[in-house]
Amino acid sequence: MSDDVRSDDRPAPADRRRHLVRLALFMAFLAALFYLFTVTRAVDVEQVRAAVAATGPAAPLTYVVVSALLGALFVPGPILAAGSGVLFGPLLGTAVTLGATVGTAAVASLAGRRAGRDSARALLGPDRSDRLDALVDRGGLWAVVGQRFVPGVSDALASYGFGAFGVPLWQMVVGALIGSLPRAFVYTALGASVGEPSSPLLFTAIAVWCITAVVGVFAARSGYRRWRAHRTPPEPSV
């Protein structure tokens, strides 16, 4: 029998500690990024916006790339989206925001998969990992879509987690594209309507945000109930 793996396919204590340390370091790294770029606002989005505007006709594509990378570093997405609205207006700005959001999802999920996937599988064990993979195959895409509707959840942090638990890249990209569309419009429109408190665009954005938040809460509640029902064993028949 191998020194690293027990006969029941669980990792040996030393191997388990190694995987736990690896995941803990990854989580600490993400926490540091979150504090640096979300709490202390280490990046001045105004300066980023000015630098992007200076690129002229390439500004939309430049903002997609820069915003995608900054989003993966936990620079708040609403601020980046609002900057897109200021630079490009509500229509082109929404497309730019959506492209950046999908880019963030791809970058974060790939990083999460590379940093945490092997350790997560080792700690879960082969049986649980296989069940999780089957669950991802059935509902990973819609889990990504649903997460995007839930208010108050960091999209970047969720993308790192989805990657660590094995959600395929195509599900991340398609799910982010579908699920992020309402909020991409909302935050971009809010940026585009700055200085116009009576703008119909502003009221439309607020209405879409409210609807999206309500849908997200109900979706999260429904998903939690299904998860509980799946985990609760059936009562024995008399």
Question: What tens digit of pLDDT does each residue of 5-24 get?
Answer: 444 555 566 677 787 888 88
Domain total of the chain = 1
Q: For 29-70, what is each residue's pLDDT tens digit?
A: 889 988 988 888 888 888 999 999 999 999 999 999 999 999
Q: Is residue 89 part of a domain?
A: yes
pLDDT of residue 234: 52
In a domain, 5, yes or no: no
Q: Rounded mean pLDDT of 67-76?
A: 95
238 occurs within a structural domain: no
Domain membership of residue 3 (yes or no) is no
- 4 falls within a domain: no
Q: What is the helix (H) or strand (E) element at residue 49, kind and residue range? A: helix 45-53
Q: Is residue 200 part of a domain?
A: yes
- Indicate whether 156 pLDDT > 60: yes
Lowest mean pLDDT among 24-38, 136-150, 180-194: 136-150
Band of residue 71 on the pLDDT scale cut at 50, 70, 90: very high
Residue 159 contacts residue 140 (beta carbons within 8 Å): no
Cα 74 from Cα 159, distance rounded (Å)? 11
User: Band of the pLDDT at 238, cuts 50, 70, 90?
Assistant: very low
pLDDT at 125: 73
120 contacts 165 by C-beta, under 8 angstroms: yes
Residue 6: inside a domain: no
Q: What is the pLDDT of residue 235?
A: 52
Nearest to 52 by CA among 39, 37, 65: 65
Residue ranges making up the domain that contains 127: 13-231
User: Considering the domain boundaries, does residue 8 fall inside one?
Assistant: no
pLDDT above 90 coverage of the chain, percent: 39
